Structure 1
Amino acid sequence: MRTAGRSEYCVIACAEAWRENGEVLASPMGLIPSIGARLAKRTFSPGLLLTDGEAMLVGLDGTAEGWLPYRRHLTMVTGGRRHVMMGASQIDRHGNQNISCIGDWHRPARQLLGVRGAPVNTLNNPVSYWVPRHSTRTFVERVDMVCGVGYDNAAAAGPSATRYHRIPRVVSDLGVFDFETPDRAMRIVSLHPGVGLDQVREATGFDLAVTGEVPCTRDPTPDELRLIRTVIDPAGLREREVAS
């Protein structure tokens, strides 16, 4: 079996976000996070609940296994029984995320998706992020608008905001990051094979925290590679999002 490509390391990194989550609703947004969630359920997190993105709980092959109307979905959200992996048009050192607009809110240079459910997600259940193109346009010193709430803004809002607030990880096409530092600033957890520390620093608009020697993102096992390539994504759609 050929060695793993960059897209497969990204799948593994996304899957790891749901390790030991137990029976929670996995809500991946994006192709590689979706492949990662399905891989996690097939391997080390069998208790995960997967949805079709609408109103059904589905099995590994997409077959409906249960009904999840929106009111039940929101019950899981507000109880912290959901782990979302969202995208980010911008994300800053404390994990504030922007998917609404670029530039001044009153007269933006670019109009994006809008705030959507980002504030509710981040204040009520764990939220990780997936960024397929790591650059200074996305990893910015300060987001133009706060949609997903970061650690600094949650702390400023007080206990009602911090009770369920947690950002386990950020995954990009270059590496994996978290906020396990005294000031809750973004830290490098691992870099994907072939990525250097200087490369990721140059692609980031703020100083990343580093604790000791930075390891490589773990290799997928032969069984994980088999599942990715022949069962979950045999068409190789992951390569469209991150080329190997």
Structure 2
Amino acid sequence: MTATRAECCVVACAEAWRGAGEVLASPMGTVPAIAARLARLTFSPGLLLTDGEAVLVDAAGETEGWLPYRAHLSLVTGGRRHVMMGAAQLDRYGNQNISCIGDWRRPARQLLGVRGAPVNTLNNPTSYWIPRHSPRVFVPRVDMVCGVGYDRAAAAGPSATRFHRIARVVTDLAVLDFETPDRTMRVRSLHPGVTADQVRAATGFALRMPQAVPVTREPTADELRLIREVLDPEGLREREVAG
């Protein structure tokens, strides 16, 4: 079976939780939600999933246990959650903006607001899902810092870096990470059919890129079956990823 771009993105997002152990997955968006459930059903059986309110659920959405707010906070502030958020803007160090476009004192566009992004990024591992890789998202400098990047966490000191880790950024074109000496963004892999020049053209700053860039792995036959028949039979993933 041939996988679509959206299905490759699901697997790339799921890989963010590989080997995570018993941590709470907090996926935001259709593709990350499918990915977290896929990881739970395959290579990360210890992953904890929640309905977003007060209970723990399995990959089918059936209740497994109770997650009171105090227990949720304990996971969040102790490094035992891995959240996958979106971003209106991201810079080379992983600083994220979801609040506004333009000067915050008189923004050209008001967005979600800072919300829980600072707590998410400073208290537990964070990844990002970007369904449209473009220079409007990947910018030299974010208009407002909501999620904290590597440069600002380092400047704040040990209290900020203790649990801070940006595991990866998955887009509709590539998988990116920060495994460089100066913790700036690099290309980890290109999705099947995507070229390095496409990613460079869609990024508003110079990306680190290996001479030989790996190709993002495609779903296995069993993973495709789970995605198509069990986790997303209505094909919602395809609406989130163009082409």
Counterpart of 1:149 in 2: which secondary structure? Answer: coil
Counterpart of 1:17 in 2: which secondary structure? Answer: helix
What is the identity percentage for the equivalent residue pairs of Structure 1 and Structure 2? 77
Counterpart of 2:167 in 1: which secondary structure? Answer: coil
Q: Show the 5 A alignment for 1:20-169.
A: 20-169=19-168
Deviant stretches of 4+, over 2 Å: none
Q: Structure 1, residues 89-119: CA drift from partner, whole Å, max 9, x if none? A: 0000000000000000100001000000000
Counterpart of 2:84 in 1: which secondary structure? Answer: strand
Deviation at 1:211, TM superposition (A): 2.4
Amino acid across the alignment from 2:207: L
Q: Structure 1, residues 116-148: CA drift from partner, whole Å, max 9, x if none? A: 000011001000000000000000000000000
Q: Structure 1, residues 50-92: CA drift from partner, whole Å, max 9, x if none? A: 0111111011111111111222111101110000000000000
Deviation at 1:44, TM superposition (A): 0.2
- 1:13 and 2:12 aligned: yes
Counterpart of 1:26 in 2: which secondary structure? Answer: strand
Instruction: Provide the TM-score with structure 1 as the length reference.
Output: 0.98
| Partner residue in 2 for 1:232 | 231
Counterpart of 1:220 in 2: which secondary structure? Answer: coil
Deviation at 1:194, TM superposition (A): 1.2
**Unpaired runs of 5+ in structure 1?**
none
**Unpaired runs of 5+ in structure 2?**
none
Q: Show the 5 A alignment for 1:172-211.
A: 172-211=171-210
CA distance in 1, matches of 2:171, 2:207: 14
Q: Structure 1, residues 167-216: CA drift from partner, whole Å, max 9, x if none? A: 00000000100000011000000011111100100000000001231011
**CA-based RMSD:** 0.7
Counterpart of 1:83 in 2: which secondary structure? Answer: strand
Q: Structure 1, residues 211-236: CA drift from partner, whole Å, max 9, x if none? A: 23101100110000000000000110
CA distance in 2, matches of 1:98, 1:223: 36
Amino acid across the alignment from 2:7: E
CA distance in 1, matches of 2:242, 2:234: 14
Amino acid across the alignment from 2:114: V
CA distance in 1, matches of 2:227, 2:107: 40
